[in-house]
Structure 1
Amino acid sequence: MKSLNQRYAGLLVLAVILALLPVVLTNPFYIDVAIRIALNAVVVIALNLLMGYTGQISLGHAGFYGMGAYASAALTTHMNWPPILALVVGAAATGVLAFVVARPILKLKGHTLAMATLGLGIIISIAINNESQWTGGPDGIGVPAFTLFDFTIEGEKAWYAVSAALLLLMTWFALNLIDSPVGRALQAIHGSEVASRVAGVDTAKFKARVFVLSAVVASIAGSISAHYIGFITPGMAGFFHSIELVTMVVVGGMASVFGSIIGAALLTVLPQLLQTFEGWEVVVFGVILMVTMIFMPKGLVPSIAQRLRSRKPKEV
């Protein structure tokens, strides 16, 4: 119960911070960075449910992100679909693909699972590059504004409200999922698949479900990001973006919802600071990942929390 109260206290703190940020950040550039952090955090929280809580590696999640973004771009641009319908169809198509590949891929373990998910991401990226009549190919494609009925989302403040609401909703959902029987089953699978099966957990089913969930969330975030940015290129579905997402999970903290948000914040701001060192971003991300795994293998938030708990005086 104490842990549950702490988690929802964290949700309240997050809500307060998100409410105060537009007041503190008066520069449109900082609001833009905050929006990107929120959208990245949504994807990273879902990916952490797969990696941190269930113990399944994915190096291809940028492909799902790109599927959502390009579904919204292509359907609204070439077929004049309403943005909300394009978003839903893109998420549904992503979910179907994830469901089809989930069981065979998730039978693998360790580096073979990582290579399989990497291959899936590469296939999606190649398809986006090659289908130039729909996607614009390597040159990219413009994305219309997001309209719902007669209302158009425009301006940094409006987009910030959307991204902040989406982040709060995803955080609340993840916290509830973790404390549910489903969440306990996922954590049991991470601990030991054999023991989970002996205890009656259908490990294949639960792994497939969380894989599909994380893919659909990535697709939705990709669609929202595409409408916000207004122009997308195949790089958002590429290998480096997948590595960025995994690094955010690892640095922030495996099996930590709030660690996902911290990881997303740190590694979304970092490229802005490295703009003068163009071409070295990959090296820096690799160094950060390596240092984190050596000195804080559980990630920033769990490691700091563990050290704080160890410093508390023991009750006599």
Structure 2
Amino acid sequence: MLKGALQSRWATLAVLALVMAVVPLIAPSAFYLRVAALVWIFALAALGLTILMGYAGQVSLGHAGFLGIGAYGVAIGPTHLGLSPLLSLALAAVLSGVIAYLVGRPILRLKGYYLAIATLGFGLILALIFQSESAVTGGPDGMAVARLTVFGWRITGATQWYWVNAGVLLVGAWIALNIADSPSGRALRALHDSEVAAAGAGVDVAAKKLAAFVAAAVYAAIAGGLLACMNGLITPDAASFMHSVEFVAMVIIGGLGSVLGAVVGAAFLIVLPQALTSLQEYEQAVLGLLIMVFMIVLPTGIVPSLRNWLAERLS
């Protein structure tokens, strides 16, 4: 069983690494590399939500708020505190985890729709803070963000950001896969199926849900920091409710609980709108229709459905 888990884990990482290696070879220009770099960033945030929703079964509609904490962290740190962007990113990830811990303790006592509404309220509060605290966050106009420098290497250009984001996503995927195959991951899946049964089996339900919530927040904060540094600008829109909905959609469309599904879902919602720009005013309608069709035809998500289809053909 352990051998099979290891093979599955390394197979997933190998597929992801292969895709990352092939994309620059077929990308016709730097614009496509930048789009791919955005896919890796949003896939990283979706990975955190995969741990929370796919593993632990807890719904969050405020995930973009944590992305905003990471994004504004790398902006505020250098501007107001004189910190380096890299240190600011690390501190923003820690801050996001601490806030998730403090907020998660009371709201994770809720279940189902009540939990979703509570996380929605938290996300709206953060978005309002980013919007209104002009002296610190720049208000609606946002803030300029210093370029990220790692050991004297200043990261610029689509190609460099592509590989940086790809590397961070690969590490994030490795961590998520290890969590899934660990005793904690099995405990999370147990409470996903039934919190009562998991508690009866000796799982500390409250602690496991809180740990998943903190992990999701840290993933989102790192993704937000990378997004802000790559764009060189951050606005309150990064923490908007619609981005939270998009993250949930990425996880569900790609496949709930699937690491590759989070990446595929992110690619679906980032790349497809770019491909539909020629439709102009019909773009959003066609995108919505395609999402509906995918969910009807592939109700378990793209990756699990394709995996089951291949298993049936090979059996």
Tell me the TM-score normalized by structure 1: 0.93
Deviations 1:48-83 (A, max 9, x none): 111011110011100000111011111212332111
- Going from structure 1 to structure 2, the CA distance change for 1:74 and 1:188 (only over 3 Å counts) comes to same
Q: Does 1:128 align with 2:130?
A: yes
* Residue of structure 1 in register with 2:204 after alignment: 202
- Stretches of structure 1 that go unaligned for 5 or more consecutive residues are none
**Percent identity between the two aligned chains:** 48
Is the contact made by 2:5 and 2:181 (CA closer than 8 Å) also made in structure 1?
no
Is the contact made by 1:68 and 1:87 (CA closer than 8 Å) also made in structure 2?
yes
Is the contact made by 2:44 and 2:169 (CA closer than 8 Å) also made in structure 1?
yes
- Going from structure 1 to structure 2, the CA distance change for 1:52 and 1:143 (only over 3 Å counts) comes to same
- Going from structure 1 to structure 2, the CA distance change for 1:56 and 1:292 (only over 3 Å counts) comes to farther
* Residue of structure 2 in register with 1:16 after alignment: 18
* Residue of structure 1 in register with 2:304 after alignment: 302
- The Cα of 1:168 is off from its aligned counterpart by 0.8
**Quick one: distance in 2 between partners of 1:107 and 1:284?**
39
Is the contact made by 2:48 and 2:218 (CA closer than 8 Å) also made in structure 1?
no
Is the contact made by 1:72 and 1:87 (CA closer than 8 Å) also made in structure 2?
yes
> Pairwise mapping of residues 108-127 of structure 1 onto structure 2 (< 5 A)?
108-127=110-129
Q: Does 1:29 align with 2:54?
A: no
Q: Does 1:225 align with 2:227?
A: yes
**Quick one: distance in 1 between partners of 2:167 and 2:294?**
30
* Residue of structure 2 in register with 1:236 after alignment: 238
**Quick one: distance in 2 between partners of 1:58 and 1:290?**
21
RMSD of Structure 2 on Structure 1 (CA): 1.8
**What's the secondary structure of 1:255's corresponding residue?**
coil
How many residue pairs get aligned? The number is: 313
Q: Does 1:257 align with 2:259?
A: yes
**Quick one: distance in 2 between partners of 1:238 and 1:287?**
23
Is the contact made by 1:31 and 1:156 (CA closer than 8 Å) also made in structure 2?
yes
> Pairwise mapping of residues 154-303 of structure 1 onto structure 2 (< 5 A)?
154-276=156-278, 286-303=288-305
**Quick one: distance in 1 between partners of 2:203 and 2:313?**
37
Tell me the TM-score normalized by structure 2: 0.94
Matched AA of 2:237: G
**Quick one: distance in 2 between partners of 1:26 and 1:282?**
26
- Stretches of structure 2 that go unaligned for 5 or more consecutive residues are none
- The Cα of 1:137 is off from its aligned counterpart by 0.8
**Quick one: distance in 1 between partners of 2:100 and 2:283?**
29
- The Cα of 1:275 is off from its aligned counterpart by 3.4
**Quick one: distance in 1 between partners of 2:301 and 2:42?**
17
